[in-house]
């Protein structure tokens, strides 16, 4: 996989809700030469109660507390969960820290600019409609170029 640039094409600075003020991190989105996007996420201060935490791109980039203005999962093709363009793999929480990288061809950088990256309080079950029963929105970051 070859990236188009040596720097990310978009980023989201992630911050926690009122119950998780120590939660912070960054997501980077990099275009791949043959199409698609490499996503990397690094987060600190995650609540230790859950080993896996749901993560999605939501349609509205308003991270005003309590993150209730981010809308639904980004789903331009009106598909069922977990096939939304904004449905992402769950984070593996290791003692409050998570790092992951994955490739997706579900969206391009220009499709997600201005949208919100959300981390939820529970794992995504990849079954329950329409959100995977992933719980409360505990962290948010707006995706910018």
The whole-number pLDDT of residue 135 equals 92
Q: Does residue 7 register a pLDDT over 90?
A: no
pLDDT for 4: 80
pLDDT band at 34 (very low <50, low <70, confident <90, very high): confident
pLDDT of residue 32: 94
DSSP E strand stretches across 20-136 = 24-31, 37-44, 52-53, 55-58, 91-92, 97-104, 116-120
Q: Give the percent of the chain with pLDDT over 70.
A: 100
Pick the CATH number of 10-144 from 3.40.50.970, 2.90.10.10, 3.30.410.40, 2.60.40.200: 2.60.40.200
Neighbouring C-beta atoms of residue 108, cutoff 10 Å: 15
Residue boundaries of the structural domains of the chain: 10-144
- Per-residue pLDDT band at 131 (split at 50, 70, 90): confident
How much of the chain, in percent, has pLDDT values that exceed 90?
Answer: 81
- pTM recorded for the entire structure: 0.94
| Sign of the Cα pseudo-torsion (101, 38, 134, 12, in order) | positive
Average pLDDT, the chain: 94
pLDDT, tens only, 58-102 = 999 999 999 999 999 999 999 988 989 999 999 999 999 999 999
CA separation for the pair 93, 106 (Å, rounded): 24
Q: What is the DSSP letter of 111?
A: H
């Amino acid at each position: 996989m070859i990236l188009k640039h040596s720097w990310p094409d978009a980023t989201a600075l992630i911050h926690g809700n009122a119950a998780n003020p120590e939660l912070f991190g960054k997501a980077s989105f990099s275009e791949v030469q043959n199409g698609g996007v490499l996503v990397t996420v690094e987060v600190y201060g995650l609540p230790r109660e859950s080993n896996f935490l749901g993560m999605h791109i939501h349609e509205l980039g308003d991270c005003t507390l309590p993150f209730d203005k981010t809308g639904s999962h980004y789903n331009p093709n009106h598909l069922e969960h977990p096939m939304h363009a904004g449905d992402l793999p769950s984070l593996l929480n290791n003692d409050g820290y998570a790092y992951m990288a994955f490739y997706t061809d579900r969206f391009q950088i220009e499709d997600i600019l201005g949208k919100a990256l959300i981390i939820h309080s529970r794992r995504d079950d990849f079954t329950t409609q329409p959100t995977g029963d992933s719980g409360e929105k505990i962290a948010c970051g707006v995706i910018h170029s």
